Amino acid sequence: MTDAAPTAAQSWKVTLPCTRAEAEALDGDIAAFALMNSPPVLMTSEAAPDDENAWRLDAYFEGEPSPAAIKLLRTLVPSAAGAKPLIEQLPDEDWVTLSQQGLEPVTAGRFHVRNLAADPERSGHINFLIEASRAFGTGQHETTAGCLLMLDRMRRIGMRFGNVADVGTGTGLLAFAALHLWPRAYATASDIDPVAVDISAQNAAANRIPLGRGQGQLALYTAAGVDHPAIATRAPYDLLIANILAGPLIELAPSLCALVDEGGTILLAGLLQEQADAVLTAYRTQGMRLAERSDRGDWPTLRLRKRPAIGWKRPRRIDRQARGEAPGFGSL
């Protein structure tokens, strides 16, 4: 099959007025939108310099927003009940960059993630520069920060890894973090979107992450899920990270688990609290057990361990006909 991602949908922006209180209440991620395949990016800002209570909500959509999506957006800002939303079609490839500009740096454990080169580094931390781009994974999303915190904790309790994979890498941030924690590891990162893979390569250069297939280097691939010969060839992995969405996490469970060594670890994120049981069931069926769970708001991060194979209890392996893909999904 081809590695090319589907043609990206045209981007749209919906703007509604709101109050300062409503804007502050929107700090974080909105669970209702997270159930969508392509949830919008929400940004708030002051609308009038002389009125501290006048704010605006901008929602960036991949594809024309449906009436139901606009209705849901209205429920977030009740003060705009009588206002007509401003709906705009945006130039290609601009909306994610626009929505991410001016984000505050994020500190998660030993990691400090800046989105602007002008922001200072933080002493005593591992600093990354992930500038606004057309790919997701700047560290702002609760799931990305949750993964960074879990990786930090895993290192602190003495866990060691020698072969790491990051499926749905987005900007490459989680793969970079893993290589900093375990610098002698082999590392692989993939995304269905070739733009995300290109941006990950640019971010690797900006953060002095060496690219390549050797020890201490990061190999980047464009792939739907894990459907790439090199990803299978570089297996088995003792750490596999997948920060995507609940649907593809469940769909990819057999393929991801088959690539993990016995006793190895899978780190899952991108799911909501109410989706955790379904995701865990899918992975327990494949011989995984829950080792640790950490929640940030509505967003859990799951650390799973693959049970060793013992006689008839050997974990079920990947179907030979499965191609290890979940088309249309990438990192958060």
Are residue 79 and residue 195 in the same domain, yes or no? no
Confidence of residue 61 (pLDDT cuts 50, 70, 90): confident
Q: Which tens digit of pLDDT belongs to each residue from 216-256?
A: 999 999 999 899 999 999 999 999 999 988 889 999 999 99
Q: Which of 60, 92, 124 delimits the end of a domain?
A: 92
Are residue 143 and residue 282 in the same domain, yes or no? yes
203 is in an annotated binding site: no
Does position 33 have pLDDT exceeding 90, yes or no?
Answer: no
The CATH number of residue 86's host domain is 3.30.70.260
Q: Which tens digit of pLDDT belongs to each residue from 126-144?
A: 999 987 654 444 444 678 8
**Order of strands across the sheet with 86-89?**
41-46, 54-62, 11-19, 86-89
Q: How many domains does the chain have?
A: 2
The CATH number of residue 187's host domain is 3.40.50.150
301 is in an annotated binding site: no
Question: Can you tell me the distance from the alpha carbon of 130 to that of 203, in angstroms, rounded to the nearest whole number?
Answer: 6
Are residue 76 and residue 181 in the same domain, yes or no? no
Does position 66 have pLDDT exceeding 50, yes or no?
Answer: yes
| Mean pLDDT along residues 279-293 | 96
168 is in an annotated binding site: yes
Does position 120 have pLDDT exceeding 80, yes or no?
Answer: yes
Are residue 165 and residue 267 in the same domain, yes or no? yes
Q: Which of 76, 92, 108 delimits the end of a domain?
A: 92
**330 close to 182: Cβ distance less than 8 angstroms:** no
Tokens representing 147 are 């993964």
Does position 322 have pLDDT exceeding 50, yes or no?
Answer: no
Question: Can you tell me the distance from the alpha carbon of 308 to that of 40, in angstroms, rounded to the nearest whole number?
Answer: 41
144 is in an annotated binding site: yes
Note the pLDDT of residue 318: 37
**155 close to 215: Cβ distance less than 8 angstroms:** no
Q: Which tens digit of pLDDT belongs to each residue from 182-221?
A: 999 999 999 988 988 999 999 999 999 999 999 999 999 9
138 or 289: which carries more pLDDT confidence? 289
- Residue 120 resides in a domain: no
Note the pLDDT of residue 184: 96
- Residue 2 resides in a domain: no
Q: What is the mean pLDDT of the chain?
A: 83
Structural domain harbouring 46: 11-92
Q: How far is CA 293 from the centre of its chain?
A: 17
- Residue 321 resides in a domain: no
